Structure 1
Amino acid sequence: MTAVIPIGRLPLLDPGRARLVDDRLVFDAPGGLHRALGDGCFALAMPADFDPAPGRRLARDFHREAGPDLPREAALWHGFRAETAIYFDREHFQTEHLLADAAQRAARFPAPVTAMADRMHDIAGRVLRAILTDLGVAPALWHQVTDGTVAGGGVRWFAVSHYRSDRALDGAPAHKDTGFVTVLYCEQPGLEAELDGVWHDVLPVPGHFLINFGGALELLTADLARPAHAVLHRVRRSGRGPDGEDRFSFAAFLNPGADTDLYRLAPDGHGARAVIPVEDFLKAFNAQTWRDRHAGFGILKRDPAEG
């Protein structure tokens, strides 16, 4: 049996820290944005009134069966393995997860989770607008090159992951997120990121989200003087924590719809050209990353909630 990989075998990545002030990113250290663009990630202070409890509860309960004696309110948080449209069993990894768009969340998720996810997507949009501003991208291009994700459009995925400690497998494969910006909540170790060809442990920063830049943003900014790097990351095999609970996480993603194209900006940020259909990009990602039966994972032409 494969041993659980202990913390400390890799160098540590202590991500740069920032906070949102209106639609501006204010980093704690000089050069913070430059570092974040190179690392492909940074830690963002959570709003003082942000409550992660609904996400924690769903992550710990969605994979449990809803027994007949469970009160109706509690049953809403259980039994998701039967929801084949949004539940994914990753046979080659520890992770099992939910992936739901806005309409699916409204139909199936407990209301507190839906409200929390909306809040995280709003934060993701503010981060994306701040990055485009700081990189000098012409605002007139924002809607076109992001499929409207700067203003609530595109596809707003929300994922909830549970890592099954009884499986002697890696937690999740090495991959880059596919969209523009990811807002990740995790409070247990296990996440690893590659910087300059070297894997690092990424320890959670209390009171902070981890912001990841994805492949769509990397491609969009590739020709700018300061491009954004999409961080390659993975989750090692995870055991139970000191509290006896399995590892979990949840995240909000800003993605373009699959019926549009990914764009690349001109070096001055005032022009752009289409590079590849989003659907082709996502199909290649699924084949290379998960290597399982879920070929259509994360491919949605338009978030139904956006009309």
Structure 2
Amino acid sequence: MRQTESGVLYLVATPIGNLRDITFRAVDVLKQVDLIACEDTRHSRPLLDHYGISTPTTPLHEHNEDVASARLIERLQKGESIALISDAGTPLISDPGFPLVRRARSAGIRVVPVPGPCALVAALSASGLPADHFVFDGFLPRKSSARKAALEALRKESRTLIFYESSHRVGECLADIASVFPADRRLVIARELTKVFETIIDTSVGEALSLFEGDPNMRKGEFVLVLEGAPVVDRTDGLTADEERVLRILLEDCSVKTAASLTAKITGARREAVYRAALRWVEEKTTD
């Protein structure tokens, strides 16, 4: 049965490791579309050859996606069907494709997801950490100072935190996590998911770096880091999430009194409640 329609953009999830992780539907779509846009045509070739997919391919990556997207939209508007795939997993999840999807939707072109593997979901599901609420922050900044700043902003986040990291920077990333988060916070390191050397380690922030440095094999592959969220603290101040966000930003540059006063003016929150919250946060940061 034909799986594709004319003038439709298909977002096809491909294996994150084992070639057998692809769905039957994904294979059918890739065989039937007029064109496959690949993050890296060379990387995708083994998968396409394995399933006997002879559909023409074209590159769409972070360096050419603006120009390539415009060209693909023209082809879609002429009635061609196109599939977008990344090197691994679900397109657009820390991978190229957003400009293409945005342009397609703006042009009234139908965009159809063909779901399948996704590294962050695979790691989270096996982590043993809460999966009902989580934050996916993709790849953290490359430089340590920026990475620490990004981590610091998430230090009080109560939801499970998920990051991607490469083998070249994962050691530095673990060191920065240890400098920001409590040593007893649980941390799951997932490496080479669904591949032959898949490794999922349940450790802590304080022990993760030494564990990583003691195992040469941990320096290879692609990583997903799943970090336990902060303990949920009973809130007696009654501030909303937006009020908290404004207050935390102002506290970076203002005194407690000034930050509380400005937050109350900006958000309409009760000044007394804002002031109590500001005092508590400053005290928590001082004692950490």
State TM-score, norm by structure 2: 0.30
Report which of the two has the higher share of helix.
2
Indicate the structure whose relative CO is greater, using CA pairs within 8 Å and at least 6 residues apart: 1
Structure 1 or 2, whichever has the larger Rg, is 2
Report which of the two has the higher share of strand.
1
State TM-score, norm by structure 1: 0.28
